[in-house]
Amino acid sequence: MRFSRPELLWLLIPALVLLPTFFALAFRAADRARRRLVAEELVPKLVRGFSRSRRRTKAILQTTALLLVLFALAGPRVGSREITVKRRGIDLIVAIDTSRSMLAQDIKPSRLLKARREVAALLDRLDGDRVGLVAFAGDAFLQCPLTIDYGAARMFLDVLDVNSVSRPGTNVGAAIRTSLAAFGEGESKHQALILVTDGEDLSGDALDAAEEAARRGIRIFTVGVGSEAGEPIPDPESGSFHKDRKGEIVMSRLDAETLERIALETGGQFHRASMGELELDRIWDELSRLEERDVASRAFTAWEERFQIPLGIAVLLLLLDFALPERVRTRREWEGRFA
C-alpha cells in the first residue's frame, strides 16, 4: 500500500492521543457536574436509561470515524497496473540567429527578442512533437537537444542572447549542418527545420548546406527577420551604433534572396517578417501536414486510489453513532409506549 499524501499519516499519532483524552475529560466533567446536583446512587432513578457503556460506545464510534477520515485524506493506494503511453509527432529543430545584427530594431523591440517571443508561442502549440534549439552566429551549437520537455526547451530559449555564441558573424551553413546532425538517423518525412535569421550569411556556404538537407529530404522553413532597407546595429557598450573600420555606421539588411533559395532548395517555404510579426503561424499550418510518428513511449505504474473505503466506513460509523441514543430504553418506557 502507498499513499498520495503520506505526510498526513503523522496526524494519526496526535489524534490517537488527543481524541481519547478529550472524551475522557469531557466524561469526567459531566460526571463531576452531575454529582454536584444529585448523589451517585440516585442517578439511575432520576436519569432513566443512563448508561456509561453506551456513552463509551458512542465515543469509540466517533473516534474511529475521525481516524478513518484522516487515513482517507492520506490517499491510500493499493494494487497497480502498468500503462504504456505513446506520443506521436514530428521532430522539429528551430535555429535562431544570435549574431549582433539581430539587435537591430527594425522589428520591435529587436529582431532577436521578437524571434524569441514567436518561437515561445510556437512551443505552446506543440503536443507530442519533439523540439530542439540551435543557436548560431559565426558558429553554431545545439542549445537544446530534441525533447518533449517543452518547459526545458523554453528555459533554453529564454537565455538566448547575442553572447550565446562567442564567434562573431553569421554562419547560416553551420546552423543548417548542426541541425541536421541533431536530427540523427530518423526518417526525414517526420523532420523539419525552422531557420530564423536576417540572412546575412558571411560564410557563403548556406546553399551547400541546404543541398545537403535536400538530399536527406529535410524541409527547411526560413523566416527572414529585418528589412532590406537596412537598420543600424546598436552597440550596448558604447550606447551608439556599430561602425566599420572606416568609422561608418554598419547597416544590417535582410538577405531575402538567399533565404528564399534555401527554402525552395529543400521544398520548404520562405516567409518574410511583416509589420513586426513573424510568420510562424503559416509555418505551423505546413508542419501540421507532416506525417507523424511515435516519438516517445513511456511505461508507468498506475496505483488505484482506495480512499473511498475508509471514508465510507467512517460515514457508516457516524450514521450508527447518530442513530444510537445515549440512554438505554427501560422496560417501563417500552411498556408505557405500547400500553
* Rg (alpha carbons) of the chain, rounded to whole number: 37
Check whether residue 194 and residue 250 sit in a common domain. yes
Instruction: Determine the Cα–Cα distance for residues 58 and 64; give it in Å rounded to an integer.
Output: 10
Distances (CA, A) of 120 to 20, 30, 94, 115, 153: 58, 68, 11, 9, 9
Check whether residue 150 and residue 28 sit in a common domain. no
Check whether residue 135 and residue 25 sit in a common domain. no
- Within a domain: residue 80? no
Q: Which domain holds residue 28?
A: 2-75+306-338
CA 88 and chain centroid, separation: 18
pTM: 0.62
pLDDT tens-digit series, residues 155-188: 999 999 999 998 988 899 999 999 999 998 777 8
Check whether residue 171 and residue 315 sit in a common domain. no
Check whether residue 40 and residue 100 sit in a common domain. no
- Within a domain: residue 27? yes
- Within a domain: residue 81? no
Instruction: Determine the Cα–Cα distance for residues 104 and 230; give it in Å rounded to an integer.
Output: 9
pLDDT-derived band at 25 (thresholds 50, 70, 90) equals: confident
Check whether residue 112 and residue 91 sit in a common domain. yes
Q: How many CB atoms lie within 10 A of CB 225?
A: 27
Domain count for the chain, please give it. 2
Between helix 256-266 and helix 172-183 the angle, nearest 10°, is: 30
Q: Are 220 and 263 in contact (CB under 8 A)?
A: yes
Backbone angles phi, psi at 287, to 5 degrees: -65, -35
Check whether residue 65 and residue 190 sit in a common domain. no
Check whether residue 290 and residue 175 sit in a common domain. yes
Distances (CA, A) of 249 to 146, 181, 201, 245: 39, 37, 19, 10
- Within a domain: residue 207? yes
Check whether residue 94 and residue 24 sit in a common domain. no
- Within a domain: residue 20? yes
Residue recorded with cell 523554453: 154
The C-alpha angle with vertex 219 and arms to 130 and 171, in degrees rounded to 5, equals 90
Check whether residue 283 and residue 313 sit in a common domain. no
Q: Out of 36-50, 135-149, 196-210, 243-257, which region has the weakest mean confidence (pLDDT)?
A: 36-50
